[in-house]
Amino acid sequence: MLMRSEPFTEVQRLAQQLFGGPATGTWSQPAAMPADAYRNGDEFVIVFDLPGVDQDAIDISVERNVLTVRAERRPIDLGEQAQVTLSERPLGVFSRQMFLGDTLDTGAIQATYHNGVLALRIPITEKAKPRKITVDGVSAPESKVLNG
């Protein structure tokens, strides 16, 4: 159903934790967003954590079975008198690409965003759904041909 396309994402996250690098694109690439993916009946669901991201700052596209989700966490307006004493929340562009299998109907993706969680629901195509195959019996004359 889904193939990971970012083999260095975990290495990048570990390096950011160890060395305190910015989560907004260490090594000149957008930071990845955490995701879960699972099958739920006749649909495939992918959920992304995007806390603090406005809905209008999310861009989702699919091209040749490659799903791309980009989001931007923008700084809040603190006013002219504000003095920042601590700044740990990453800002900037976050991006994630995933290869989707041919068994998913990418033309019917539904996206919802609630409480900083983006959920994509992708229907599974009819050809990928389990189906029952009947076994026909062999009549007596045909069985002689097969056995004889």
**Of 104, 15, 107, 90, nearest to 53 (Cα)?**
90
pTM over 0.75: no
**Burial (Cβ within 10 Å: 0-12, 13-18, ≥19) of residue 46:** buried
Identity at 99, one-letter amino acid code: F
What sections of 90-139 are H helices per DSSP? none
Element (H, E) at 100: strand 92-100
pLDDT 10s digits, 31-70: 668 999 999 999 999 999 999 999 999 999 999 889 999 9
CA distance 6 to 97: 7
How far apart CA 5 and CA 97 sit, in angstroms, is: 6
* Alpha-helix runs per DSSP H in the chain: 9-19, 140-147
Reported as a single tens digit per residue, the pLDDT across 18-35 is 555 544 444 445 566 899
Instruction: Give the confidence band of 131 by pLDDT, cuts at 50, 70, 90.
Output: confident
Q: Domain coordinates of the chain in residue numbers?
A: 2-147
Tell me what the mean pLDDT of segment 100-122 comes to.
94
Q: Specify the pLDDT at position 58.
A: 97
% of the chain exceeding 70 in pLDDT: 71
2-147 is a CATH 3.40.50.300 domain = no
